[in-house]
Amino acid sequence: MNSKIDLDVREHRAFAEGMAFDASGPYERLTGRATFRVDPEAEAQGAVTDITLAPRDADGLVRFAADFCILKPVDLSRGNGRVFFDYGNRGNKRALQYFNDAVGSNDPIAPEHAGNGFLMRRGYSIVWLGWQGDLYPGDGRMLLDAPIATKYGRTITGLTRSEFIAVEPGTTVFPLSSLVSTRSYPAASLDTTKARLTRRRYAHSEREAIPSDAWSFARLERGGGVDNQGMETAVVASDCHVHLPAGFAPGWIYEIVYEAKDPRVLGLGHVGVRDFVSFLKYGRETASGHPNPLREGDAGIEHAYAWGRSQTGRCIRDFLDYGFNADAESRRVFDGVMPHVSGAGKMWMNHRFANLVLLPGQEHENHFTPADRFPFSYAMSTDRFTGRTDGILKRPETDPKVIHTDTACEYWHRRASLVHTDTDGNDLDQPDNVRVYLWASSQHVSSPQVPAPARGIAQTYFNVVSTSMFFRANLDRLDAWVSRGEAPPPSRIPRRADGTLATFEEWREDFPAIPGVALPRGPSRLERLDFGPDFERGLISHEPPEIVAGEDYPVQIPAVDEDGNEIGGLRAPMVEAPLGTYTGWSLRRRDFGHGAMVGITGSYIPFPDTEDERAQTGDPRPSVLSRYGTPDAYQAAIRQAAEGLVADGLMLEEDVERCVAAAADWGRPRHDVRL
């Protein structure tokens, strides 16, 4: 046997105070730890970088453990026999927030965490597992304890790189990982002459070296003094922090390249997900005899689905690309997957000294990362630069059905056009088991609950388009596809063939000249990067990577209508009946990286309220009142758009009234359009 699993259920509680969810009845929550033991020499985990260098137990197996959480019907026979696996973005539970419009929580137990009850009313067993092996405890995050690789018992060192961008003045310390939630790789030496700290204005600006005596590997500690001297500050040497006494200038990109030590075998996160879900789907008892918590008599799991957004959408694509959807016995793990807002990326995960928590290559933040690499598409294609032919789906026996969804932001920030084009920029037909949908003119993060438009460090309001209704419809469509062979509606994506997928130059010609609104320089480029000769084996030796001379990969964006809203994709009711221009980009304010795009955000640029305002400002877009006249007419337009989506099988009937209710009083508070 090349893998074993055991479960320790540490807590068993009623969910939502015993509330019954239609035919599914009440739910309960199980939490605990899963322990995994895998054969490092077995082919099933052979793709995991450094697994043969991980510590082994007395049986020669590699051991690791992870947190798990399960919400399940108390009576499994009343459930639908399906696992809904939420990958958990950066260790955080997200599914109830986005599918149930619930209050977000890493401790879902109260009635408000059930939201509208959608997943429970459908009868799903909702499952989480810690898969990210570089997180610290805190805020209820799901953790995986990944082992540290050594070479014959000796410490492994290697080059690594991190970026820091301060968002407020006075910041003088960063963890080397860049985020306090994430473990840093310790510096092998505290001698700053053996490392390089630089800063630059924009991603492609020339790097300015910061003298080695102007910074240190250190952190700050504060505490109460004695003799009424107030608070004291100490500078403490630290192999996991960088201290710049002069402060990190907000908006500037700081980059450190240093020799790190103690790499974690982070690729085991894929193995943990594979073995945990496979056990819930196929297993009866663990290695030590504990029963499968999702099997009672004849009631068990028929199908397993996975959903991930952003980081975890990329993780799903990485999981499939490496072949982990086949378990250790070559059985299919997930029958269907729903990667959301991943763009064309995968994970920087199965590499030595990888940092899983970093945002992947955007125009300004972490631009030069290995997250976006060929193959970009589920379909087989040939990379015109290397001649290599590949696709994410290449194992028909175990490949799942895929519903891939992106917003406008992924086309601007995350190179999403490459999901459905070849490396020449031409339309690329997807396999029969794939659907791709652009959620036109919407934003990467679309919270179901928006108190009012906000700007943050951007020049414009952030995009406020609501899209949670699409999650629910897509899951129903995926289940019908897997269970009954009922195919979802065809993909809705911008295409070169019909002019709805545009180059930046074409887009700029069509976007309206809105007074006072600056435009981006273009979508985030995708250069060809050289990380060293052993990159395909999970080893990086060039930091920062070398840019290969010549053309970039072609990144294209959705074409727009006369209002600046996108065409060629799936338009939410708020986009079909707009109160403004909703984009996939927003630009940084002067004091935070002037003019560069704010990563994974879009804009809401309100229409003029009246024709008088339009004439005064010179806005080319018709006013709100000229379009709708009254709040009731606006609600009627939202209803018509929603009912059209229902008729097309892209939205559920139950969400029509939710959309109409949210449109009351000119869409307040989400829009806060004041007439």
pLDDT band at 675 (very low <50, low <70, confident <90, very high): very low
Tally Cβ neighbours within 10 Å of residue 245.
12
CB atoms within 10 A of CB 622: 14
pLDDT 10s digits, 487-523: 999 999 999 999 999 999 999 999 999 999 999 999 9
Between the alpha carbon of residue 175 and those of residues 84, 201, 245, 265, 650, the distances in Å are 34, 21, 14, 20, 44
pTM: 0.96
Question: What pLDDT was estimated at residue 47?
Answer: 95
Residue 10 buriedness (CB in 10 A; 0-12 / 13-18 / 19+): exposed
Residue 260 pLDDT exceeds 70: yes
Single-letter residue type at 71: L
> Which of 62, 59, 35 minimizes the C-alpha distance to 50?
62
Which pLDDT value is given to residue 344? 97
Cα 412 to Cα 463: distance, rounded to the nearest angstrom: 14
pLDDT tens string 126-180: 999 999 999 999 999 999 999 999 998 899 999 999 999 999 999 999 999 999 9
Please check the confidence at residue 449 and state whether its pLDDT lies above 80: no
pLDDT tens-digit map of 319-365:
999 999 999 999 999 999 999 999 999 998 999 999 998 878 899 99
pLDDT of residue 360: 84
Q: Where exactly are the structural domains of the chain?
A: 157-261, 321-675
Give the pLDDT of residue 563: 98
Give, for 617, the enclosing helix (H) or strand (E): helix 611-617
Whether 305 shows a pLDDT value over 60: the answer reads yes
Dist. CA 362–CA 410, nearest whole Å:
9
Short-list 366, 359, 363, CA closest to 342? 359
Report the distance separating Cα 409 and Cα 402, nearest Å: 20
pLDDT greater than 70 at residue 227 = no
SS (HEC) of 503-543: CHHHHHHHCCCCCCCCCCCCCCCECCEECCCCHHHCCCCCC
How far, in whole angstroms, is CA 630 from its chain's centroid? 39
